[in-house]
Chain A
């Protein structure tokens, strides 16, 4: 059997800086740098041991620490950056790669929605579109086609928010607990999304370090392995009508509402696993409905049955598929335009290390992480494991 493409790669360091609605005394550069230092400390590495960086602020890290020359990528952060760094290590382009992200002081004009939620484009800008409305059009179509109930969406939001409610590191720590009814009673933002169905805006940094497996062996932390993953894109985010059925009647195979399915199938195929092998689901939660959509797209339940799937405790603490266990984008943090994309992966690593102070899934060996969603026309998938593939 051919060697797994990421056999020789391990995640050895992760770090979240403080997360807050507003981080006093920081800008994006300083908080990203702090995140990188934190991940190095977690791994027990020195800056000079890094020979690859990813991210817009990665170049700044290289210059400040004078560790160059290094391999550098400007990959979009989140799962694509993890896959690219893993590939660079597997291909010998680098041996220890730092992925760092951070954002502070960017969103200051509170009369408008956050700038990253409203990219201006000629076909959306005058219709008042921003992410909540884009994702609402996806959710509404699913509700129409399958009878998915607002209470199912609210159950997702309450579950994830309660994970954040008990997590002292979450921006909205102690804000709950929430019932599904509390979510339904919160004010409407973009029907069917109430305020508590939506992710927050926040500031923060985070970083992750991958290393060649032989280097990982000598480090203090338990290595976590990349079992598989891929990225699914249907086009630019927030420029075209966010249709569930992107291809219409003529291209029934082109279903944006199932974006992520191909990526998930690829991820499972790479390691010979399936949905039933997953112990914890660190899914991206920009809006409550997206969890329902992803359980369908990734093959955990049949199409149209995601609403029922999330209603019976399956996704809660102690359930078969605990979801977004730190509180996610709704309650842990949405630290800017891209920080939260990497934070799903960081939480997956923490679950597999068994180091989560709250909502630890006992004995977790396989974590599935994701990023993006159908309002954005993309969905990335990453499978992590405790066993070397």
Chain B
């Protein structure tokens, strides 16, 4: 059994783009944010230019509860690059507002992951610019 933990500094980091800047700014405040459509109330993630449901441009940033359940998972033993410590666990989370996010699971034994398990966001700072959202079982 191995306890899954956040990665150490030195892993490749995201480079924010024009559309995603508010998302990473939110992370720096410790807030998980997503885009909500004023016209159809649909949610768009990853950050877009138009609503994923109705193509409206009326997208507004909203703060997520940061809670959800595990939709799918893997545990990785062959790292992408040597900077990563194994095992780590990529997960897709069904976030409670009704959207999905890719992240890593932490704070859990590697062999105790289950689809449907409740999780909550937890941020870990990896550089001055990047405060990376992970998820932990609740």
Contact = CB atoms under 8 A, between A and B. Distances in A.
Interface residues of A, number: 39
A128 B80 contact: yes
A375 to B, nearest CB: 11
Contacts of A118: 80-81
Contacts of A144: 72, 115
A124 interface: yes
Given A112-B81, A243-B72, A126 B132 contact: yes
B59 interface: no
B74 A250 contact: no
Contact of A127 (B78, B102, B115): B102
A380 B99 CA distance: 28
B75 A122 contact: no
Contacts of A126: 7, 11-14, 126, 130, 132
A190 B77 contact: yes
Interface in A230-260: 239-244, 248-251
A4 interface: no
A190 B78 contact: yes
Contacts of A267: none
Interface in B45-103: 46, 53, 71-82, 84, 88, 90-92, 98-103
Contacts of A240: 46, 102
Nearest to A188: B77
Contacts of B73: 137, 140, 191
A130 B53 contact: no
B7 A250 contact: no
B13 A125 contact: yes
A44 B132 CA distance: 58
Contacts of B16: 122
A122 B14 contact: yes
Contact of B76 (A111, A133, A248, A250): A133
B76 A140 contact: no
Contacts of A137: 72-74, 90-92
B130 to A, nearest CB: 7
Interface string B31-50: 00000000000100010000
A128 B76 contact: yes
Contact of B75 (A141, A188, A250): A188
Contacts of B15: 122
Contacts of A250: 42, 53, 98
A123 interface: yes
Contacts of B115: 140-141, 144
Contacts of A158: none
A127 B104 contact: yes
A124 B102 CA distance: 7
Nearest to B130: A126
A113 interface: yes
Interface in A77-124: 111-113, 118, 120, 122-124
Nearest to B12: A125
B92 A129 contact: no
A189 B7 CA distance: 18
Contacts of A130: 80
B22 to A, nearest CB: 13
A367 interface: no
Interface of B: 7, 11-17, 20, 24, 42, 46, 53, 71-82, 84, 88, 90-92, 98-104, 115, 126, 130, 132
11 contacts: A112-B80, A125-B13, A126-B14, A137-B73, A138-B72, A144-B72, A190-B75, A242-B102, A243-B72, A243-B92, A248-B100
